[in-house]
Structure formats: structure tokens, C-alpha cells
Amino acid sequence: MTCLPEITPGQKKLGLVIDLDTCVGCQACATNCKEWNASGHSGPLPDTKPYSAGAEGVWFNRVHSYEAGEGERGRTVNFPRSCLHCETPDCVTVCPTGASYKRIEDGIVLVDHDLCIGCGLCAWACPYGAREMDEDEGVMKKCTLCIDRIYNTNIPEAQRQPACVLTCPTSARHFGDLGDPDSKVSKLVAERGGQPLMPELGYKPVNSYLPPRNRSSVAAKPDEAVPTPMDIKNPLLRWMDKVLTR
Amino acid sequence: MNPAPSIVFFTTASGAGYGLLFWLGLLRPLGLVPGQGLVALALALVLITAGLLSSTLHLGNPQRAWRAVSQWRSSWLSREGVAAILTYIPALLLGLALWVDAPALALIAGLLAAAGAVATVYCTGMIYASLKPIRQWHHPLVVPGYLALSAFSGAVLLAMLAAFAGGGAVPALLAVLTGAAALLLKRAYWQAIDSGPPIATIESATTLGFIGKVRQLDPPHTEQNYLLREMGFRIARKHAAKLRLIAQGAGFALPVLLALLAVLVGGTPAVLALTLGAVLAIGGLLIERWLMFAEATHTVMLYYRG
Ligand code: SF4
Ligand code: SF4
């Protein structure tokens, strides 16, 4: 059924909270996502020409890098982009076959690969580019929030988290119930002022992005006059500089 | 957006087929179309069917296409499928009525087929008009545009067939009127999308606007992907401007003038003028439908291009 489940208060809304302050853009989340999802619920994921120029494939998570602002206030921000498991997503309602659906019990947006005809309309309807076509199988694929991990009783409880969250070396990714105001993730969003992406589109994303923290004071400027060891051409003087700096 | 040839052909061919079916269903029972009308009906059904088949080529799993009629409660694509299939029933009945010369049945089946044609084209338009991430499609003039282009191309074809069957100024006059209306509508649409504000910005897409202006530093991948191929297609402005002029001239203005000429002179010159007009109109529509895709932009490209 591609009609959306009714929104009831206190409903479970599983999703991710992504910290744009601490993400270092290492691509570990994207890589571990690909590794986990290449088998299981969504597997296999296509990779065409994997060992030559023109390599491409389906990934559920893509890590962009941006520069924001100018001068002292300006900074580099790494930006992972994946399905936001929106509350009112048109990617579900446009689907003609019922393959695309949103689960009532936890709000996860999934594709039933046995029903999908590969029309691509849901990818057009997603403002965030979260759906990529598996052109080998002719069906749409997308982030499942690791549905085959988070409820998997065959793996230790601590590991029942999405692959991207588990692998992030800076703990920039958090997973939990954003429908419960007392959950860890909801508190994090409240504390840090988490933001939705493109709220003007009206899809009500569940995933939230924590803004980069304001640096309280800008670090003192390096003193241009002081030569660095690289500037000292004479090897004897460079050695002296090294000894004296110790 | 990527102008997939199968979809461009589908909207042009099926659009013209439904337009032809609409006018035939409406005018034939009133006796305003010369001849039996069976040739026109056959042409309409061939165009519709060829278009629908071509649109299934675009699918990743065409053998499952039948599933697409199940979600008519929420999906315009599903509704289009239902409307398209249902329209075959009165269309075939109309054919039967014309064959055995049953005027009462022809009247009822004709009206129902005309209604089905309008409903199907309306659904097609709504598939595009309901997509919020694509500013140029999520526009109030898109559905009227689909209806007007379908009515125009159908009228042009009917006028040509009527001329072959020896007269009938009504279809040619309809071609003049709908052609002029479609041209005005298209011009208004182009003006609106050219001056329309963006629906979102790279700042709102990344939440980083509070820091300042946002620009891409590194792309997430160095090779192509599905998103870039499907949603990243865009056409250079200068080509768009030229193609718009060609579509307006060859696709609308010339066929309208030729139809007008045909009404005035009649006879064999009218047959020639209307045939040329039909060829030009369909060619122009192919360009216009291609532009409809090539000029459309998707919000996901904000992440890649700002
Ligand atoms: S991010 Fe895109 S694919 Fe995911 S729920 Fe929202 S609209 Fe659908
Ligand atoms: S590609 Fe599959 S999931 Fe997406 S709208 Fe089409 S049938 Fe539904």
C-alpha cells in the first residue's frame, strides 16, 4: 500500500542524527554501508566496471564536502547524505505498484524488490537523491536503516545498530527513536538545535543534522614574521633552530 | 531531467492518439467528420498503444507492468494506467458502432471514449505536476499544457484525415483554435518557469546557510551515478532558446497557418497543407516534449552543483 500510515502522537520514528561538527569526511560510513548492504535485505548492490575508469554503482550513503561562509567564519563541512525516512514522503505515494512503503511500526521507508517495476518515479519524487536504481535487477534500492541489523537477534545487542553508525570513528552518527522526546537522540537534537534538510519541500525528514558548533574565539593568527624550519635554507642554521626550539 | 526517448515518444504519440480519440468521439456522432471514422479511430488506437508500449520500455522490469494499476488511491502513474486501460472499452465499442452503423451506441461510446481520453491525459500531466522537487513540472500550467497539446495534435491529425475523406472544415478550424491556445499557453509557461524563484537552495539543502554562502568543495564520488545521469541532465540556455523558437514556429505557428489556408482553399491543396501541417506539428511536439525534460531541474542537483 503506498498510502502513508496515519501520523499518531508518540509514534515510533527511527532515524539518524548526524553531527556536522565532528564528521571528518572519512567515508567510513559509506563504505561500511556498502559492505553490509551488498548482501542481506538489499543485496546484491551493483558495481559496474569496478576495476577500471567509469566505475560506478549503487550506494545508499554519499559523503559530500562543502565550504560555508567566508574568512574567519568560513569552514569546511563534511556532509553525509542518505534517506531521511521522511514522515510525509512523496517517494511512497507516487509508487504505482505498492513496492515503496513506509512501515507503521517504526517509520522506516522501504522498497519491496519483488513488486518494484523499476519505473524510477520514486527517485524523481525524492528531493534528496536518496534512491538509486539497481540497473542490473531493474529495481529501486535505498537505505533500509539496516533493517536486517537493528532487529537481528543473531548478533550481539550492542551491534544492533545501522552499519554507518557503528563504524563512524568520530561518533558523528547516532541512531534512535526520534518520536520519543526522552530518547538519547531526541535530547541531542534539542540540545544542539538539530535541523531538517530542505524543510520547505514539506516532506518532514526524520533524520536530523546537528549544526557545526560556533567556535567561541578564533585562534590567534600565526605570526607571519617567524620563519618556519622550512624557510631556513642553510642546513647548519636549520639544525640550530631545531636544537634551540626543543 | 534526462529526456529518455521512450518517454518523449510516449507523451507525443499517446497524447496525439488521445486527442484524436477525443475529437472523434465528440464530433463523429454529430456528423461533423466526413467518412466512417474508422481510419481515424484505428490511427488513434495505434498511436495510443505504441506510446503505452514504448513507456514500458523505460521500466526496469516490464514484465511486472501489470502491477502498476494497483495503487490508484495515491499514485497518479497508477491512475493513468487504470484510465488508459478503461478507455479502450468505449473506444473499441465506438469502433463497433461505426462498423455496424449504430448511431445511438456511437454517441454514447464516443462521449465515454472522449471522457476517458481527457482523464488519461489529465493523469499523465498530474504525474509530472505532482513532483515537488522539480520546479518546472510542479507548476499549475503543466496539466493544462498536456491537455492543450493533446487536443491540438489530435485536431491536426483529424483535420488531415477529414481532408483525405473529402472535406469537413470543423476539424481544421479546431486545429487552428487549439493550436493558437496551445501556443499561448506554452509561451506563458516558459515565461513563468524562466522567472520563477528556486524552490530550495544549497543553503537550505545543507542547513549550513547560518554560516554563510555554501559551495561545493569535493564531490562525494568522482565518476557518474544514477542520480547524475537521471536528474543531472540540463540543456545549455542558448540551445533551449533556439529549440523553443523552432517548436513554436514549426510545431504551432506553421500548422495553424496551414490549417487556416486549408479551410480557405479546400480541395487537394487542403489535403497537402493539412498533411504537411500534421507532420510539422508532431515534429514540433517531439522537440517541445524533449525540452520539457531537458529544461527541468531537480533539487538533488543542489547537493552536486549548488
Ligand atoms: S529521503 Fe527521499 S527516499 Fe527517503 S523517505 Fe525522504 S523522500 Fe523518501
Ligand atoms: S521504481 Fe519501484 S519503488 Fe519506485 S515508484 Fe517505481 S515501482 Fe515504486
A50-73 pLDDT tens trace: 999 999 999 999 999 999 999 988
CA neighbor of A116 nearest in space, from B53, B75, B60: B60
Q: What does the DSSP assignment read for A48-88?
A: ESTTSTT-EE--S-EEEEEEESSGGG-EEEEEEE-----SS
CATH of the domain at A131: 3.30.70.20
Q: For residues B106 and A241, what is the distance between their CA atoms, to the nearest angstrom?
A: 102
Q: Which of A12-21, A237-246, B157-166 has the highest mean pLDDT?
A: A12-21
Q: Could you tell me the domains of chain B? A: 5-305 (1.20.1630.10)
A1 is a domain residue: no
pLDDT digits (tens, 9 = 90+) for A118-143: 999 999 999 999 999 999 999 999 99
Q: For residues B209 and B206, what is the distance between their CA atoms, to the nearest angstrom?
A: 8
B182 contact partners, CB below 8 Å, separation of at least 6: B145, B148, B149, B151, B152, B252
Q: What does the DSSP assignment read for A149-187?
A: HHT-TTS-GGG-S-HHHHH-TT--EEEEETTSTTSHHHH
Tally of domains in chain A = 1
B206–A65 C-beta distance less than 8 A: no
User: Which parts of chain B are beta strand (E)?
Assistant: 214-218
CA neighbor of B134 nearest in space, from B225, B199, B230: B199
Q: Is the pLDDT of residue A216 over 80?
A: no
pLDDT digits (tens, 9 = 90+) for B199-229: 999 999 999 999 999 999 999 999 999 999 9
Place of cell 642546513: A235
Note whether ipTM > 0.85 here: yes
Query: What does the buried/exposed string (b/e) look like for B191-220 if buried means 16 or more CB atoms within 10 Å of the residue's CB?
Result: eebeeeeebbbbbbbbbbbebbebebeeeb
The sign of the torsion formed by the CA atoms of A36, A41, A42, A44 equals: positive
A242 is a domain residue: no
A161 is a domain residue: yes
A192 contact partners, CB below 8 Å, separation of at least 6: A19, A210, A211
B220–A62 C-beta distance less than 8 A: yes
- What value does the mean pLDDT take over residues A15-29? 98
B7 contact partners, CB below 8 Å, separation of at least 6: B54, B55, B58, B293
| A6 in contact with B, Cβ within 8 Å | no
Angle between helix B76-100 and B103-129 (nearest 10): 160
A5 is a domain residue: no
B160 contact partners, CB below 8 Å, separation of at least 6: B271, B274, B275, B277, B278
CB count within 10 Å of CB A218 equals: 9
Q: Is A121 in the pocket of ligand 2 (CB under 6 A)?
A: yes
Q: Are B290 and B251 a contacting pair, CB within 8 Å?
A: no
A3 is a domain residue: no
| Nearest-by-CA chain B residue for A4 | B74
CA neighbor of B179 nearest in space, from B41, B297, B274: B274
Nearest atom within ligand 1 for CA of residue A89: 7
Q: Is the pLDDT of residue A217 over 60?
A: no
Q: For residues B151 and B122, what is the distance between their CA atoms, to the nearest angstrom?
A: 12
For residue A43, give its domain range: 14-210
Q: Is the pLDDT of residue A227 over 80?
A: no
- Sort out which chain B residues have CB atoms less than 8 A from A99's CB and list them: 67
Q: Is the pLDDT of residue A182 over 70?
A: yes
Instruction: Tell me which amino acid residue A183 is.
Output: S
Q: Are A124 and B133 a contacting pair, CB within 8 Å?
A: yes
Q: B98 CA to chain A: closest CA distance, Å? A: 35
- Sort out which chain A residues have CB atoms less than 8 A from B225's CB and list them: 56-57, 59, 132
A246 is a domain residue: no
Q: How many whole angstroms from B249 Cα to the centroid of ligand 1?
A: 41
Q: Is A111 in the pocket of ligand 2 (CB under 6 A)?
A: yes
Q: For residues A189 and A209, what is the distance between their CA atoms, to the nearest angstrom?
A: 8
Q: Is the pLDDT of residue A223 over 70?
A: no
Which residue in the set A94, A98, A197 is minimally distant from B205, CB to CB? A197
Q: Chain B, 201-240: which have a CB under 8 Å from a chain A CB?
A: 202, 204-221, 223-227, 230-231
Q: Are strands A75-81 and A56-57 parallel, antiparallel or unpaired?
A: unpaired
Q: Is A23 in the pocket of ligand 1 (CB under 6 A)?
A: no
A226 is a domain residue: no
pLDDT digits (tens, 9 = 90+) for A132-176: 999 999 999 999 999 999 999 999 999 999 999 999 999 999 999
A55 is a domain residue: yes
Reading the block at residue B110, the C-alpha cell is 464516443
pLDDT of res. A57 = 96
Reading the block at residue A132, the C-alpha cell is 538509486
User: Which residues on neighbouring strands pair with residue A125, listed in sequence order?
Assistant: none
